[in-house]
A = this chain, B = another copy of it.
């Protein structure tokens, strides 16, 4: 069984992924992928993270085409990162019994027929969730947070749509889409795990 969890920033998608992996006894992958990719590419982990998590594209002077061949023809550290990401995620998928949060795993592993979840929530709910988890010295206004959401999700969308056919967040690319607005994530996990299990029969 392979499960992928894509998510809007602040929607609690990581928590859904972590808890669901525990419930289904799947190996869990999230930020550790960044470490792995940094190791493979011999690039700084913070840099890899900025490319993969926050749409680091904006720092680059060239525009990406929508297709891999074009991308491949402009070798840069970004290309190396994306290639390493693909290789590492495919290797994880081949071992099976895993749950991967983000990193476009849903499209990278498409041929392995993963169960693809998308987690989202309304803006107020995402702001509240982020505030709860923010370090004490972080004081962002709602407006700043919304700008961050837009930037981070925009980066995710860009990376995802580079590889995929269905646009990021569009229902056609997912098996199940969960709205976590006002939801206690812990409480939905047993039912969600059951749902994934019967869908995989």
Contacts and interface: CB of A to CB of B under 8 A. Distances in A.
Interface stretch (A12-20, A43-51, A72-80, A171-179): A171-179
B194 A198 contact: no
Interface in A159-186: 169, 171-172, 174-179, 181, 183-184
A188 interface: yes
Q: Say how many copies of this protein the assembly contains.
A: 2
A110 B159 CA distance: 35
B171 A118 contact: yes
Interface residues of A, number: 26
Contacts of A29: none
A162 B183 CA distance: 29
A181 B175 CA distance: 8
Given A172-B122, A177-B171, A194 B199 contact: no
Interface of A: 118, 120, 122, 169, 171-172, 174-179, 181, 183-184, 187-188, 190-192, 194-195, 197-199, 201
